[in-house]
Each structure stands twice: as C-alpha cells, then as structure tokens.
C-alpha cells in the first residue's frame, strides 16, 4: 500500500465513522420520545448531540485529509 492508497483508506474510514455516528443519532432521535423517564430522555438527547457533533468532526477530518 502506498501513501496515496493509505490516505484514501483513511478518508474512507473517517466517512464511514461519520455515517455510523449519524445513524446512531437518527435512531436515538426516534427512540427518545418513547423513553419513559425524563432522565433517560435527557441522556438520549445528550448522546444525540454528541453523535451529531462526532459525525461533523469525522466529516471535517475527512475533508482535511483530502486537501493534503
């Protein structure tokens, strides 16, 4: 594997992780209203925000990788 292949693979992995984080956030958004306790809903909301942030950060990292 040469440098360019490694960079492409790195970029692909970051995009894959971004997609996964986005999927987690989407699934939690659907589940949160069904949770019976306020504490559980609050924890789900925190994780939703964290997953969206993580997806954004992985996408930004992928862009930075591509630029170099």
Report the candidate in 23, 19, 25, 29 with the shortest Cα–Cα distance to residue 59.
19
Distance CA 25, CA 14 (A): 17
Q: Collapsing DSSP states into helix, strand and coil, what is residue 2?
A: coil
| pTM recorded for the entire structure | 0.86
Distance CA 4, CA 65 (A): 11
Local confidence band at 68 (pLDDT 50, 70, 90 cut-offs)? confident
Report the candidate in 4, 5, 20 with the shortest Cα–Cα distance to residue 57.
20
The answer, yes or no, to whether residue 66 has pLDDT greater than 90, is no
Q: What is the per-residue pLDDT across 6-54, written as a single tens digit (0 to 9) for each?
A: 999 999 999 999 999 999 999 999 999 999 999 999 999 999 999 999 9
Residues 6+ apart with CB under 8 A from 36: none
């Amino acid at each position: 594997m040469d440098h360019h292949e490694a960079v492409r693979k790195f970029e692909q992995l970051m995009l894959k992780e971004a997609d996964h984080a986005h999927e987690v956030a989407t699934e939690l958004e659907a589940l949160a209203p069904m949770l019976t306790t306020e504490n559980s809903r609050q924890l789900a909301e925190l994780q939703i925000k964290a997953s969206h942030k993580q997806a954004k950060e992985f996408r930004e990292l992928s862009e930075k990788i591509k630029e170099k």
